[in-house]
Amino acid sequence: MLTPDAALKRAAAHGIHRLRIPTPFAVGRVNCYLIEDEPLTLVDTGPNSGKALDELQRQLGEHGHSIDDLELVILTHQHIDHLGLVEIIVEHSGAEVAAIDIAVRRLANFTEDAELDDEFSAQLMLRNGIPENVVIALQGVSRSFRAWGSRARVTRPLRDGEVLRLRDRGLEVLSRPGHSPSDTVFWDAQRRILIAADHLLPTISSNPLISRPLDGSAERTQALVAYIESLRRTRELPAEIVLPGHGDPITDHAALIDERLVKTERRKRKILDLVRERPRTGHEIAQELWGNVAVTQAFLTLSEVIGHLDLLTGEDAVREIDDGKVVRYEAA
């Protein structure tokens, strides 16, 4: 099996170069990938900041290119650390912007949708027992991060399953909802390279964040249920190299996916045990599992808990009790 370093070298030999762009977020740097082909392509952009822009320009320069030369920007999903610079890049280069068709409306309406997202998250947190002062504080944090995002005008909508043709390669476009509803991976079957962004990460599990559906409907997504289905499909790909959105290349994706699935099973049983003791809110369960992190990272941990509760509800092991104000879960 390849080492991560050898994987980067092999990808580079195929014209795919990792650019590591700084972000202000806890996750650290984000990986963008330069594909030296026709059109000259960049997969993801990094967040909207002067520092990220400088770094992008410098790292493109190391490969003999500049932002102005870019001809196509591919966006892997709707999160701002991956797409914040897209408008600036387009202004400089006139590049086309490609993304999965179901995300087009959402990407175009960034500001309005971010506002709706915050409202949606606040309601979800309150319904699941997170105290109001915490919810208000987290909304403030979310608002302050918005400046790192941007709207994106997609000029090249992609269909799930279509092959995006560059001169020297074809990238199969595969929808992989879970981490976000717009997560898309790009599969080069000939070279057995998968550009996976945040769908699969080497050292941390991708958070299946609960979101508003892309079609604007009111019902929340079952992020973890969708994510597991997506992971199973990715496991079937005979990939040799998986290029993630953060960290080093993955060279044994099937084993890593199996690990993630085992961890999900374990956490699911733990949550079932907690609910068997007595009915609990999602937030109470998160506090049992993560202590104070359940407050500072309330939405993220709540998403994890609700995801596992969705799985348990689907197995008829757990049911919701709604007192009109908060939702509690009890063993069925």
- Which residues contact Zn ion (rule: CB under 5 A)? 79, 198
The residue (of 12 and 25) whose beta carbon lies closer to Zn ion is 25
Cis peptide before 39 (omega within 30 of 0): yes
Collapsed DSSP state (helix, strand, coil) of residue 82 = helix
In the bound complex, what is the minimum distance in angstroms from residue 197's beta carbon to Zn ion? Answer: 7
Q: What angle do CA 43, 45, 49 make, to 5 degrees?
A: 175
User: Which two structure tokens, joined as six digits, stand for 217?
Assistant: 């409907």
The residue (of 113 and 198) whose beta carbon lies closer to Zn ion is 198
In the bound complex, what is the minimum distance in angstroms from residue 198's beta carbon to Zn ion? Answer: 4
The residue (of 32 and 272) whose beta carbon lies closer to Zn ion is 32
| Amino acid code (one letter) for 166 | L
CA distances 244 to 32, 61, 75, Å, are: 9, 22, 13
In the bound complex, what is the minimum distance in angstroms from residue 293's beta carbon to Zn ion? Answer: 19
The residue (of 79 and 328) whose beta carbon lies closer to Zn ion is 79
Question: Residue with CB nearest Zn ion?
Answer: 79
The residue (of 77 and 283) whose beta carbon lies closer to Zn ion is 77
Q: Are 195 and 64 in contact (CB under 8 A)?
A: no
User: Which two structure tokens, joined as six digits, stand for 38?
Assistant: 């026709």
In the bound complex, what is the minimum distance in angstroms from residue 15's beta carbon to Zn ion? Answer: 25
Q: Are 207 and 199 in contact (CB under 8 A)?
A: no
In the bound complex, what is the minimum distance in angstroms from residue 49's beta carbon to Zn ion? Answer: 17
In the bound complex, what is the minimum distance in angstroms from residue 76's beta carbon to Zn ion? Answer: 8
User: Which two structure tokens, joined as six digits, stand for 302?
Assistant: 């709540």
Q: 197 CB contacts (<8 Å, ≥6 apart)? A: 43, 44, 76, 77, 82, 183, 184, 185, 244, 245
